[in-house]
Amino acid sequence: MRLRALRTLGVLLTFALLSVLATTASAATHHKKSHGKAQVVRKGAHGRHRRHGAPPAGGVYARNAILIDPSTGEVLFAKNAASSVPIASITKLMTALVFLEQKPALDRYAEVNTTDLEGAGHTQLRSGEKVALGDLLHMSLMCSDNVATRILGREAGMSPDDFVARMNKKATELGLSGSRFVEFTGLDQRNVASAADVARLLHAAAHEPLIQQITTSREYEFRTERRVHALRNTDRLLYGRYDVLGGKTGFINEAGYCFATWVHLQGRDLIAVVLGAPTLATRFADAVRLLQKATPGGA
């Protein structure tokens, strides 16, 4: 019996030792993986990792970019700026232009329906909620709410097909030769434009006083019969030292992170556009680097 007990004790000690060794190895592997992750930026929308450090040749991570002086039309920097690519929610600048062309009564209320909500992504709106058109316009431009944008399209006094046709005709009128729109929000990757087109689109949209006012507002609050809605602008440059005259963010997987901004800096107007940046933060850092190119004293 004593021999059997000793054998049993030996087996238990062996398993305990193996368990300690396995735990130690697992911890070491986890530490190694964690240490490796600390050396790279998180994976971007296009599956590539980049290490921290200096930006790539050309100065920006985004696949497409441009910097222009809108007062002269001078192109100060360009990277694949003529290529047509998905522009995600930057589409909403064109939607807003066409919507406001119809001279809508912005204090008129529209009801949210289930069709508006289908596949629209995150929204504060709920089915059956009634919202003023002017408040919906703020939601569309400040925080890229797709439900709000869909309602604007259907409340503009024309069919959806006619609205999209007007968006494309407006693009032609503005000289946006690489642009094409198939719907209002930018959720569809077939909404495309070049970086040069986006710069022209932002320039035209921000000349509309209401669009400029909305896109340069940091915060906005309104009330419906159900609750209070508090909006915060997705444009990070508004929260710094920049004199922003207009801007719009955008993202879908196919487009990457997009951003267009118009700023007044050191006595000069500049429009910077980045399309296809790998991360949310990179799109803003890319835009700042572009602005610094035109301001020797630093942006």
Q: What amino acid positions are annotated as catalytic residues?
A: 89, 92, 144
Q: Which helix (H) or strand (E) holds 208?
A: none
Question: What single string gives the DSSP state of each residue in 145-174?
Answer: -HHHHHHHHHTSSS-HHHHHHHHHHHHHHT
Token readout for 18 is: 């193996």
* Single-letter amino acid, residue 10: G
Give first-to-last CA distance, the chain, whole Å.
84
Pair of tokens at residue 76 = 């100060």
CA distance linking residue 87 with residue 144, whole number of Å: 13
3-state secondary structure of 291: helix
For the chain, the C-alpha Rg in angstroms (whole number) is: 25
Sheet of 256-265: strands edge to edge?
74-79, 64-69, 268-277, 256-265, 243-252
Residue among 212, 259, 252 at smallest CA distance from 235: 259
User: Are 196 and 205 within 8 A, CB to CB?
Assistant: no
Strands (E), the chain: 64-69, 74-79, 85-86, 109-111, 130-132, 192-193, 219-223, 228-232, 243-252, 256-265, 268-277
Distance CA 250, CA 246 (A): 14
